[in-house]
């Protein structure tokens, strides 16, 4: 049970596996007014930056669950670097279907709603771990501009236009599911550029070091097309944000 290697190659230098900058992650933590001792569960926690930095800055505790052995080890290393290994722990496992042993104050899935089959299923999954009155965090893409054709849809890593919604409709969806949106922080253009462009250097660095690897042809093909594909499609059309929800 693990992520395909191409994912960990592509994002090998990333602390945050989405278009948030460190400053935006910090802004979100401040906006949520997190109290020391807040108990958190982060599903698909990646390299653990959310839990580690919020444990350092706000005194939260928590558990992250991720399917990637590489990212889980990165998260444990990061916790040690920041001096919070006694407050957060990271579990290698499938976040889909994971429920906390005891209710938590904050349940998050930031950028991986496929673990629940989409937004609705992920909200339902997180709710199973959340105490009454707790905070839920969902990170999700949305259409900034209406994609004019299927090439644009696929250029934004979707299979069909309905995979994502415009921002107002995404917020309305949360309401339809019975939740108030009580905060949000949206990625900006710089965050998107840093997230995507850093992947290209990761790919090229890996390729130079591993020219005979069985994945070399796939990595070369991605590196050849990814920059222009992002500039043509994703940069203008796709947005991304983290939304804080409370059940009505």
List average pLDDT for each run of 10 residues in the chain, which is 248 residues long: 94 97 97 97 98 98 98 98 98 96 98 96 98 98 97 97 97 98 97 98 98 98 98 98 98
Q: What is the pTM of this model?
A: 0.96
Q: Is residue 185 exposed (0-12), middle (13-18) or buried (19+ Cβ within 10 Å)?
A: buried
Contacts (Cβ under 8 Å, ≥6 apart) of 117? none
The three-point CA angle 30-31-32 to 5° equals 90
Q: How many CB atoms lie within 10 A of CB 105?
A: 19
Domain-wise residue ranges, the chain: 5-247
Please state the CATH superfamily assignment of the domain spanning residues 5-247 in this structure. Answer: Vaccinia Virus protein VP39 (3.40.50.150)
The three-point CA angle 160-189-25 to 5° equals 95
* Token couple for 193: 């550029």
What would the pLDDT profile of 142-167 be if each residue is shown by its tens digit? 999 999 999 999 999 999 999 999 99
Query: What backbone phi and psi angles, to 5 degrees, belong to 246?
Result: -135, 135
Q: What pLDDT was estimated at residue 1?
A: 83
Q: Do 113 and 84 contact (CB within 8 A), yes or no? A: no
61-66 β-sheet, strand order: 88-92, 61-66, 39-43, 104-110, 130-143, 238-247, 179-186
């Amino acid at each position: 049970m693990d992520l395909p290697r191409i994912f960990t190659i592509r994002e090998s230098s990333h602390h945050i596996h989405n278009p948030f900058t460190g400053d935006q992650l910090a802004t979100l933590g401040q906006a949520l007014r997190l109290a020391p001792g807040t108990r958190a569960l982060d599903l698909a926690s990646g390299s653990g930056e959310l839990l580690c930095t919020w444990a350092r800055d706000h005194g939260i505790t928590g558990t992250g669950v991720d399917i990637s052995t590489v990212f889980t080890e990165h998260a444990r290393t990061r916790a040690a670097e920041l001096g919070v290994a006694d407050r957060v722990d990271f579990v290698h496992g499938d976040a889909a279907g994971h429920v906390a042993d005891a209710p938590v104050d904050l349940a998050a899935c930031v950028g991986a709603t496929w673990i629940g089959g989409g937004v609705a299923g992920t909200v339902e999954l997180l709710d199973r771990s959340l105490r009454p009155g707790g905070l839920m965090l969902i990170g999700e893409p949305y259409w900034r501009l209406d994609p004019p054709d299927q090439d644009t849809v696929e250029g934004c890593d979707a299979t069909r236009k309905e995979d994502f919604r415009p921002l107002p409709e995404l917020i309305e969806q949360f309401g339809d599911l019975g939740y108030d949106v009580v905060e949000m922080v949206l990625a900006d253009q710089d965050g998107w550029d840093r997230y995507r462009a850093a992947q290209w250097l990761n790919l090229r660095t890996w390729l130079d070091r591993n020219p005979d690897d069985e994945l070399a042809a796939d990595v070369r093909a991605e590196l050849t097309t990814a920059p222009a594909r992002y500039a043509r499609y994703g940069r203008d059309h796709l947005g991304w944000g983290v939304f804080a929800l409370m059940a009505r």
